[in-house]
Amino acid sequence: MRDFRDAKAMAQTLREALKTKSVSLTHSESLELVARILGVHDWNVLSARIQSEVQPAANPRPTISATVRLAENQLPTVPLRDIVLFPHLNVPLFVGRAKTIHAVECAMAKDRRILVVTQRRSGDDNPTAADLYGVGLTASVTDLLKLNDGTIKLLVKTFARAAIVRLLEDPFLTAEIAPFDESRGQDEEAVALSRAVLETLFAARNIGQISFLYDRLQESNEPGTLADAVAAILPCNIGQKQDLLETGDVVLRLQTILALMKTDQQAA
């Protein structure tokens, strides 16, 4: 197993085979399973091993995307399949679509800033404005590796929510964005709900469902930050996670998270 494309194909085959048996996996979950089948800890380790001999190209020539001029409120946009990201995360992403690669090239030629936003349907290979949710995250590309099959591996740090005002589709997806306001983040009710969320996490931790996360979260003094950290690990569907991302009222966000956590505990 030396070809990155082979590993991705295995993941797709596995996903389709399980689907026929009424077992649903996301694209990222199938990649993780392939990594374990091949005897490595996770997909990132497998990818690194396969690409261990790949060296970044030296002094690449500027591309068309690198010469595109963007306004301050416009960001090259990376559409996401099967995942909703939340603020203050460091996450690996794999980019393979031509337009998205051009968007990343534009970002790298400027200030490395991008907008990450989830697709409404993961199967759309050429998403337009109607195919993306209306709220995403500003982010920065902190590391980049070009792989030998043309795919790019990114390490991305996410920052804040942003509303998409308008989406340009050529020469690559570019979002005109506006700030996404949050409210009631310091209300007494938000603080009380934060404690309730932590107590629920602690109960889950005692039965082995949560490990180090509880210890890290209990140090947070920001209810909104805590809500986003918990939302990122909740075992709920894409629509529910996107709803949490689009909930600017921190009290309502915490209430929804608490309800989802209790439902999950009851189901378990």
* Digitized pLDDT (tens) for each residue of the chain, 268 residues in all: 445 456 777 777 777 777 776 667 777 777 777 777 777 767 766 666 665 544 444 445 555 566 688 988 999 999 999 999 999 999 999 999 999 999 999 999 999 999 999 999 999 999 999 999 999 999 999 999 999 888 999 999 999 999 999 999 989 999 999 999 999 999 999 999 999 998 888 887 654 545 556 556 666 678 999 999 999 988 899 999 999 999 999 999 999 999 999 887 666 5
User: What's the predicted TM-score (pTM) here?
Assistant: 0.74
User: Are both 122 and 158 inside the same structural domain?
Assistant: yes
Is 197 found in the same domain as 144? Answer: no
Q: Which domain holds residue 25?
A: 4-50
Same domain, 194 and 259: yes
Provide the number of structural domains found in the chain.
3
Identify whether 85 is part of a domain: yes
Going from the C-alpha of 221 to that of each of 99, 169, 226, 257, the distances in angstroms are 40, 40, 8, 17
Is residue 143 one of the residues assigned to a domain? Answer: yes
Do 75 and 174 lie in one domain? The reply is yes
Residue 94 neighbours by CB under 8 Å, 6+ apart: 47, 151, 152, 153, 154
164 and 73 housed in the same domain = yes
The answer to whether residue 80 sits within a structural domain is yes
Q: Is residue 60 part of a domain?
A: no
206 and 234 belong to one structural domain = yes
Domain ends where: 179, 202, 229? 179
Q: Residue 59: inside a domain, yes or no?
A: no
70 with 173, same domain?
yes
Closest C-alpha among 27, 24, 31 to residue 6: 31
Nearest CA-CA partner of 156 in 112, 203, 212, 196: 112
Task: Looking at the structure, tell me whether residues 167 and 139 fall in a common domain.
Answer: yes
Tell how far CA 234 is from the center of its chain.
13
58 found inside a domain: no
Tell me: do 77 and 171 sit in the same domain.
Answer: yes
Specify if 126 maps to a domain: yes
pLDDT value, residue 248: 97
* 193 and 175 assigned to the same domain: no
Confirm whether 74 is domain-assigned. Answer: yes
- Regarding whether 157 and 222 lie in a shared domain, the answer is no
Examine the domain organization and report whether 88 and 138 are in the same domain.
Answer: yes
Looking up tokens 């301050």 gives 72
User: In angstroms, rounded to a whole number, what is the distance separating the alpha carbons of residues 123 and 81?
Assistant: 8
CATH of the domain at 115: 2.30.130.40
